[in-house]
A and B are shown apart, each in its own frame.
Chain A
Amino acid sequence: MKKPEYHIVFTVVLLGVLTFLALMGFIHTPYDPDAMNGLEKFAAPDLHHIFGTDHFGRDVFSRVCKGLGTTFFVAVTTVMIGALGGTVIGALTGYFGGILDEIIMRFNDVVASFPSVLLAMVFISILGPGKYNVIFALGIIFIPSYARMVRSEFIKQKNFDYVKSAKLMKAGSFRIMFLHIFPNTTSVFMSSLAIGFNNAVLAEAGMSYLGIGVQPPDASLGRMLSESQAYLFTAPWFAIFPGIVIILMILGFSMLGDILQQKNGGI
């Protein structure tokens, strides 16, 4: 029974378009995202400004592209820090076990039971707001969930025959861990990257909305939403387009996560 897999096509197209928009935000936008234009305040969407303009007459489409770029950057670097730190800790604790494993995992449980936005707020209240502090805070906070996932995979894999044979061949522990076991965990690992990416997007947008995340002059989708709220009645497009872009981004990555999970024989 081979059904055409529309949802995969949809996901790929959606993520492709979003990546394209984000790249546009980095390279070239139709208007300067920060250029103010007093004559064109609150222009409704038309052919010149397809997403309309905001309270300073700035082009919402250009700002959405730029904000998307920032969000992508924050989410990717956050996930990278979290995944890298988590892999190292998870691999070591999972492979060697012992008392250190117990302590680290108990600590992990504490951190993992906390909502990430809340922990990030504690970090931000100490470090102060800003793009790099958000990345640092979220990155550190994401480490435990990756560590937990990698650890359980390593515990599962380390008793398999191929590991035993590698040990017999006198392969070093690090060689076994990262050249033999780690490639076998990629299936689970990839889908958790997609989930982590979504959590990062949500946390960044939420914190920027609250004004403690990405600071101007960096454009951010969350910040656009909080600015737009005061002009909701006069310029609903100012709020709706950034919001829809966030939804599409999270939708795309959660579907990607589901697809990766399905491909690897999950539910």
Chain B
Amino acid sequence: MKYIIKKIFFFILTLLIVVFLTFLAFQIIPGDPAVSLLGTEGTPLKVAALREEMGLNKPVGERFLTWVLNFMKGDMGISYSYQIPVSELITDKIPVTFLLTMLSFAFIICMGIPLGIYTSKHAGSRLDRLIMTVNQVTMAIPPFFLGIILTYLFGLVLKWFVPGGYISYSDDFFGFFTYLIFPAIAIAFPKSAMVVKLFRGSIIEEAKKDYVRTAYSRGNTINGVLYGHVLKNAILPVITFLAVVFADIIAGSIIIEQVFGIPGLGRMLITSIQNRDYPVVQAIIVCIAFVVLGSNLLADILLKVLDPRIKL
């Protein structure tokens, strides 16, 4: 319990540091937001008034505090280029990216774990060597290129889906869901290959240990030892890795959304970066930071539950 509290404390601390650093990073950008907001209409008087209104005259520390407090209340500032509150802009994008991430994560687990177990059980066999060779190549495919290949193969040649024909979840949830399947595969495929490699290696290492020999000598079958003893220990490094993978999926989804024309958080982020729309960039980065650090926290807690020996 003490471990979990400590971890949660560090989670909050790191989150605050990240939020502060992003805030600071966008403060040191050359250029005055008030000037760029007013554009050509920016008379010195108007600029001064707007600076006052936006609170730009206050010290950085105070502005940071108000920003954090507003952020927690759901007020993320106003977008420079759209002139509407950032929260309005991103709330309907979050479910899109969320579902895409979850779907990819589910694919990774469904492909990675069983294949890892299978190949380690039959390590050295012809099929194992074939799978591991394909695996090595799969690991090297950049997700966005796989996305392009999938678009060509299943979208243009086989016509299983319409490339760019994204359907909003509020219109037709089923259509939306099916449209996300190929993007999710594009993200998941290379990552699940990494999971297979790691899990296979971890099981094989674990199977060399003494307790496995003892378990065999007590008359357990291969499956009994594998599922009863080995997997419990071999899965631990995989869980740590899955937390990293989760963060990578979010980064990957930013690119994949662009490939498949899905209007999610990632697309919003890219257009905002190109338009230098800092409040939006800031808000999205903080949201992603929250999810990334949160998944790390969850993995730590899960590890502790599975393996009580782990110490901080």
Residues of A in contact with B (beta carbons under 8 Å apart): 106-107, 109-110, 113-118, 121-122, 124-126, 202, 205-206, 209-212, 225-226, 228-229, 232-233, 236, 239-240, 243, 246-248, 250-251, 254-255, 267
Sample 19 A-B pairs with CB under 8 A, ordered by A number. Answer: A109-B14, A113-B244, A113-B296, A115-B250, A210-B254, A210-B255, A212-B274, A225-B144, A240-B149, A243-B145, A243-B149, A246-B142, A247-B140, A248-B140, A250-B139, A250-B140, A250-B142, A251-B139, A254-B139
Inside 8 A of B247's CB, which chain A residues have their CB? Answer: 113-115
Are B29 and A126 within 8 A (Cβ)?
yes
Label chain B's interface by main secondary structure.
Answer: helix
- Give how many B residues have a beta carbon under 8 Å from the other chain's beta carbons: 48
Least Cβ–Cβ distance between B209 and chain A, in angstroms: 14
Residues of B in contact with A (beta carbons under 8 Å apart): 14, 17-18, 22, 25-26, 28-29, 136-137, 139-142, 144-145, 148-149, 151-152, 156, 163, 201, 205, 244, 247-248, 250-252, 254-255, 258-259, 269-270, 272-274, 276, 278, 281, 285, 288-289, 292-293, 296
Known: A210-B258, A246-B142, A250-B142. 20 other contacts (CB 8 A): A107-B17, A113-B247, A114-B289, A114-B292, A115-B247, A118-B251, A118-B285, A121-B254, A122-B22, A122-B25, A122-B285, A124-B273, A205-B144, A211-B274, A225-B145, A228-B148, A232-B148, A232-B163, A247-B140, A251-B136
Q: In the complex, A251 Cα to B163 Cα: how many Å?
A: 28
Q: In the complex, A125 Cα to B274 Cα: how many Å?
A: 7
Which of B152, B272, B276 touches A232 (beta carbons < 8 Å)?
Answer: B152
Q: In the complex, A46 Cα to B264 Cα: how many Å?
A: 40
Inside 8 A of A209's CB, which chain B residues have their CB? Answer: 144, 255, 258
Are A126 and B26 within 8 A (Cβ)?
yes
Inside 8 A of B248's CB, which chain A residues have their CB? Answer: 115
Inside 8 A of A124's CB, which chain B residues have their CB? Answer: 273
Inside 8 A of B281's CB, which chain A residues have their CB? Answer: 122, 125
Least Cβ–Cβ distance between B9 and chain A, in angstroms: 12
Are B205 and A267 within 8 A (Cβ)?
yes
Are B292 and A225 within 8 A (Cβ)?
no
Closest 8 CB pairs of A and B: A115-B251, A251-B140, A250-B140, A243-B145, A125-B273, A117-B251, A118-B251, A247-B140
Least Cβ–Cβ distance between A159 and chain B, in angstroms: 21
Least Cβ–Cβ distance between B193 and chain A, in angstroms: 11
Q: In the complex, A126 Cα to B140 Cα: how many Å?
A: 30
Are B148 and A225 within 8 A (Cβ)?
yes
Which of B141, B149, B270 touches A212 (beta carbons < 8 Å)?
Answer: B270
Label chain A's interface by main secondary structure.
Answer: helix
Q: In the complex, A228 Cα to B152 Cα: how many Å?
A: 11
Which of A109, A117, A254 touches B254 (beta carbons < 8 Å)?
Answer: A117
Count: A-B pairs, CB below 8 Å: 110
Are A229 and B148 within 8 A (Cβ)?
yes
Are B156 and A210 within 8 A (Cβ)?
no
Task: Give A110's nearest chain B residue, CB to CB.
Answer: B14
Task: Give A243's nearest chain B residue, CB to CB.
Answer: B145
Are B25 and A247 within 8 A (Cβ)?
no
Q: In the complex, A243 Cα to B141 Cα: how many Å?
A: 8
Q: In the complex, A243 Cα to B296 Cα: how many Å?
A: 32
Q: In the complex, A225 Cα to B255 Cα: how many Å?
A: 12
Inside 8 A of B254's CB, which chain A residues have their CB? Answer: 117-118, 121, 210
Least Cβ–Cβ distance between B246 and chain A, in angstroms: 10
Least Cβ–Cβ distance between A185 and chain B, in angstroms: 23
Are B17 and A110 within 8 A (Cβ)?
yes
Q: In the complex, A255 Cα to B148 Cα: how many Å?
A: 25
Least Cβ–Cβ distance between A1 and chain B, in angstroms: 13
Given A114-B289, A232-B156, decide whether A206 and B270 contact each other with a Cβ distance below 8 A.
no
Q: In the complex, A254 Cα to B139 Cα: how many Å?
A: 9
Q: In the complex, A205 Cα to B259 Cα: how many Å?
A: 13
Given A122-B285, A229-B148, A255-B136, decide whether A210 and B270 contact each other with a Cβ distance below 8 A.
yes
Least Cβ–Cβ distance between A106 and chain B, in angstroms: 8
Q: In the complex, A114 Cα to B272 Cα: how many Å?
A: 20
Inside 8 A of B288's CB, which chain A residues have their CB? Answer: 118
Task: Give B288's nearest chain A residue, CB to CB.
Answer: A118
